[in-house]
Amino acid sequence: MNAKLRLGVNIDHVATIRNARGGDLPDPVRAAELAKAAGADGITAHLREDRRHIRDADMQRLREEVDLPLNFEMAATDEMLAIAIQTKPHAVCLVPEKREERTTEGGLDVAGGHNHLKRFVSDLGDAGIRVSLFIEASEAQLDAAKSLGAPVVEIHTGAYCDAKTDEERARELDRIRHAVQYGAGIGLEIHAGHGLNFETVKPIAAMPEIAELNIGHFLIGEAVFVGLEAAIAEMRRLMDEARTQAGYA
Ligand SMILES: CC(=O)[C@@H](O)[C@H](O)COP(=O)(O)O
Ligand SMILES: NCC(=O)COP(=O)(O)O
């Protein structure tokens, strides 16, 4: 049981808006500083191979200028490995990537790609970086992550968030709950994220085995209406309320 659920704020889509006009504003580093002021415990950013939002210089500045742990999301490629080792973030989350996808569609196939990923987990670990694997809620993927030596997994919550019916959402939530308990039982630190919003966060936040949630796209969108600090503060409040109502705080 994790006493406090950490909130990692993903600022990728501040960079999406910046890149729409090709200039320097809005600045993702300013968003990260505001996130800290609003109670974020960490900053997450995804350096995609096509650099559609976050760029190399953003990662460097997030590492150097923001006084919060940086969770660097990346594909398992040699190019990204070299950048991550040079940037030295607190953590790297290895994620699957397809050039043509609109967003990260699923989890890494750790079970199927075991040999390919092993070198990335060990090289990043040797560089003193905490490694996490972004996976589907499945025992096979959790077992594979454990056998690779990754200390952390992040469970993809996209299918739960995108569910179209109450039944489908309940089914996805059960699948996540089972995986979270199973993963914690085999000694993995459990994170979760993707697509979470004010409506979907509480049942996930109520799971006591989860140590960290990473949330981005919804918060950046909500910030247009209420401001970034208010959006993050409300997410923080809902997470804490979920833990309290579940009897874990
Ligand atoms: C890995 C993950 O779930 C998110 O970081 C997501 O990748 C954000 O970036 P995109 O919205 O470009 O997918
Ligand atoms: N790893 C998930 C993440 O960082 C945020 O995902 P989203 O909230 O932007 O969908």
Residue 103: its pLDDT value, please? 87
Mention every residue, 6+ apart, whose C-beta is less than 8 A from residue 131: 91, 92, 93, 94, 120, 121, 124, 125, 150, 151, 152
| pTM attached to this predicted model | 0.97
Q: For 83-115, how does the pLDDT look when each residue is reduced to its tens digit (9 = 90+)? A: 999 999 999 999 999 888 888 888 999 999 778
Residues 91, 69: contact at Cβ < 8 Å? Answer: yes
Distance 209 CA to ligand 1 centre (A): 23
Written as one letter, the residue type at 118 is K
Average pLDDT, the chain: 96
Residue 39: its pLDDT value, please? 96
Whether 206 shows a pLDDT value over 90: the answer reads: yes
Note whether ipTM > 0.85 here.
Answer: yes
Q: Whole-angstrom Cα distance, residue 153 to residue 190? A: 5
Quick one: average pLDDT of 129-146? 98
Distance 46 CA to ligand 1 centre (A): 6
Q: Considering the chain, what percentage of its residues have pLDDT values greater than 70?
A: 99
Residue 105: its pLDDT value, please? 86
113 compared with 1, residue with greater pLDDT? 113
Quick one: average pLDDT of 200-224? 98
Give the mutation target among 217, 222, 228 for probing the ligand 2 site: most ligand atoms within 8 A of CB.
217
Whether 69 shows a pLDDT value over 80: the answer reads: yes
For 211, phi and psi rounded to 5 degrees? -95, -25
Q: Which two tokens stand for residue 248?
A: 């874990």
Q: Whole-angstrom Cα distance, residue 189 to residue 32? A: 24
Residue 62: its pLDDT value, please? 98
Known binding positions: 10, 12-13, 21, 48, 53, 103, 195, 216-217
Q: Whole-angstrom Cα distance, residue 50 to residue 83? A: 14
Distance 19 CA to ligand 1 centre (A): 16
Other Cβ atoms within 10 Å of 181 Cβ, number: 13
